A and B are shown apart, each in its own frame.
Chain A
């Protein structure tokens, strides 16, 4: 079953006085199946962030459509977009985006509270997730009291608590040391193994090598696609690395 379909996505930024137009996305099309773990790679300025912002309904495309479970998120009215986002999407950010004013527990519960959940039910949802992520003992701590890896786990818990259709991760390992990054990637793998669909934007070959499929974006287009198949992470790592070298060399690499 296809969860996410992106058709001919286009995004043009116009500078303030209408002088220059910058094409961030020229023509992006791809789809994500339910239970897939997709990584999107690309250099700085390739349009990754723009793409993710549009998928997250934080930004509107200039053209094209984004279908989540067959529903076009571009056409959802402004008033419903926030509710839609928190019901269907879970976000993990590079800089965690945890709120200093909340304990980890309250940070994780935030999406539920926004949806008007009952305290008892929320607790029931919180505990299994916290246990799975290994942060059940840190729940009463505040973000400034725990390490980066622990913060990111809390952020993942926050993304998962609503049972979203799709988890979107924007450079989730970007601010972590290699050990914390490894353990987070393992965690993503485990979550994915349980059937959670994940879409991850990343710079890191290592992070991407954990995905089932890697999309390469260059100059606003999907430039190349890699499937893991039966490859090990190490072999995948090598393959991605080779692809990136080719892209960087500007070669006409086409499947």
Chain B
């Protein structure tokens, strides 16, 4: 027998087993597609350029690892169904005189075809879908997205290699299975009764532990940026915990149900409970898959939705004036402050004259900010504050009373070592405050006017305290003290300027004003940190939003598709398994109507377990996700909760629809 024979046979086999191969093929194609898109996005240059894009790409890269693991589990899971169904066929070949070596050759060619089809079609659809998504988002957001239709050869090679490896592993597993079995076993293949699974307490406890640890991390991680490895660990722990708990927990739960004879011996529970228990091992992996996918879908959809509903207006919260400038002070602070403020005033006026823009107001003030840890009776500034990921960090913003008074026309009067403090979220408790060895007398001042700016974003991740001290000298002393501890990364005293332009100023003019002001300040020899305009910030913000929206929508829809597919495939393949059982039940005297009821009950249980678990996961990971969202959205997050609830609701509806369709398909197969 030559190779062409095997090739033809392999092709025929796939065609003839189309009913079971098609869903498998579609799943493979979708997996390749998702993998390509994620890889392409994580390497996309356009995405890297938008603000926050780097963080998003980091998330994507990590997501890629998670998703790849998921794909591996998913492929092995579906493959096991496939092999079970086909063992009989191989048994017949074996008996008809084909060597196991020959059968393995056929399988090899089959796998080659499947691999080729999956990778080629998956990459093609991935490229096209990528483009479609970009177009939709451009429409929706009216944005100038620069990412999207770029062929990414690296990603193409990357996902091809990844899946080639997966299929190679599958091939190895399948040939190994064939080699182990004798023809009679192969012939029986699909019908060998699985042993009833034992309750695995170790696994259940381990799963509970993983899940608990994951949840704990999710709830306690303070800054998702510095704690990125921890976030990743939390995600992995939750996933591992889900798989273990579903596997061990579901068996324990079903056994408990079976023990309750009043519940168990009812026709609508009798058949489903025993049926599920019978093949719970596989069932559990399927359910855990569905659960993990669902959480991902909900998170992605809620990010997409909250991005869509957040309006541009929120940019005003961060940019109270048209133009913001920050200049770093050094040397003798009181002297430098005066000089820089004068430079600023001058530069702004000249810029205004040059660009024909009318300036409404210019105000500038001196401030200092650095991180600290809230402790009993004050704040502590440890040396490792930037690398420490477990302690809750607070951001401290300092201003002196002269600056504060002149900025807001107030009349604050503080003595030396006396401060006013205002905390976002939680006020400072106590009347004395120690900071780096100094004692201050603290009074809470609830209304600090415009000094409190853009707080909602930062305060999601850290606690923020605004503090007024009595003079610039105190400010300088504090700056020196924390510089001595933290070193290079220490906060520096800045002069911040807020320049309001006339309402009639156009966008182009505003941007030009910002650019020229920046040039002038540079030319004046001051240490400029930032010069930014509301217009350009708004643009960046919009680019970021559309970028994130693109990614979230893209992945959300893809994962939803994959989820639907898994559910459908799982139900169909189980229906084939159950067909004989229902035939017997019909012979013993079960009517079609009762069969329908039993099926409904079984599918309901199978379906709503992951939905509930998904809800719990989503609820617990909500705080962490909120913080992550801040990283990419720079926006206040009040909407996120509603969006998440809405996404969950929408997802539940889709889920119920899938349930209906699958129940019908399942019923069609068994009756």
Contacts between chains A and B (CB distance < 8 A), count: 70
Whether A93 lies near B587 (C-beta < 8 A) is yes
Whether A86 lies near B588 (C-beta < 8 A) is yes
A6 interfacial by beta-carbon distance below 8 Å: no
A142 interfacial by beta-carbon distance below 8 Å: yes
Whether A58 lies near B587 (C-beta < 8 A) is yes
Taking the closest CB of chain B, its distance from the CB of A155, in whole angstroms, is: 10
Whether A79 lies near B593 (C-beta < 8 A) is yes
Q: How many residues of B contact A (CB 8 A)?
A: 26
Taking the closest CB of chain B, its distance from the CB of A115, in whole angstroms, is: 9
Whether B591 lies near A119 (C-beta < 8 A) is no
Whether B196 lies near A142 (C-beta < 8 A) is yes
- Contact A82-B266, Cβ < 8 Å, known A106-B274, A119-B261: no
Find residues 138-179 in chain A having any chain B CB closer than 8 Å to their own CB. 142-144, 158
Whether B267 lies near A113 (C-beta < 8 A) is yes
Taking the closest CB of chain B, its distance from the CB of A160, in whole angstroms, is: 13
- Within 8 Å by CB of B589, from A102, A106, A114, A143, lies A114
A100 interfacial by beta-carbon distance below 8 Å: yes
Residue of B nearest to A143 (CB): B193
Given contacts A100-B581, A106-B274, A117-B265, list 8 more A-B pairs with CB under 8 A: A81-B591, A85-B589, A93-B587, A101-B274, A113-B270, A114-B267, A114-B594, A116-B267
A188 interfacial by beta-carbon distance below 8 Å: no
Whether B589 lies near A82 (C-beta < 8 A) is yes
Q: How many residues of A contact B (CB 8 A)?
A: 32
1/0 per position for B248-272, CB-CB distance to A under 8 A? 0000000000000110111100100
Whether B265 lies near A111 (C-beta < 8 A) is no
Contacts of B585 in A (CB 8 A): 99, 110
Whether A83 lies near B270 (C-beta < 8 A) is no
Docked complex Cα distance between A22 and B590 (Å): 30
A91 interfacial by beta-carbon distance below 8 Å: yes
Residue of B nearest to A58 (CB): B587
Docked complex Cα distance between A92 and B586 (Å): 14
B277 interfacial by beta-carbon distance below 8 Å: yes
Closest 10 CB pairs of A and B: A86-B589, A82-B591, A144-B193, A101-B278, A119-B261, A100-B193, A85-B589, A101-B274, A97-B584, A119-B265
Taking the closest CB of chain A, its distance from the CB of B195, in whole angstroms, is: 8
Docked complex Cα distance between A106 and B261 (Å): 11
Taking the closest CB of chain B, its distance from the CB of A97, in whole angstroms, is: 5
Docked complex Cα distance between A81 and B277 (Å): 30
Residue of A nearest to B276 (CB): A101
- Within 8 Å by CB of A106, from B270, B584, B587, B592, lies B270
A205 interfacial by beta-carbon distance below 8 Å: no
Find residues 553-598 in chain B having any chain A CB closer than 8 Å to their own CB. 581, 584-594
- Contact A122-B265, Cβ < 8 Å, known A101-B275, A142-B193: yes
Contacts of B193 in A (CB 8 A): 100, 142-144
Whether B588 lies near A97 (C-beta < 8 A) is yes
Residue of A nearest to B274 (CB): A101
**13 A–B contacts, CB within 8 A, in A order:** A79-B593, A81-B591, A82-B586, A82-B589, A86-B588, A97-B584, A110-B585, A110-B588, A114-B590, A117-B265, A118-B265, A142-B193, A142-B196
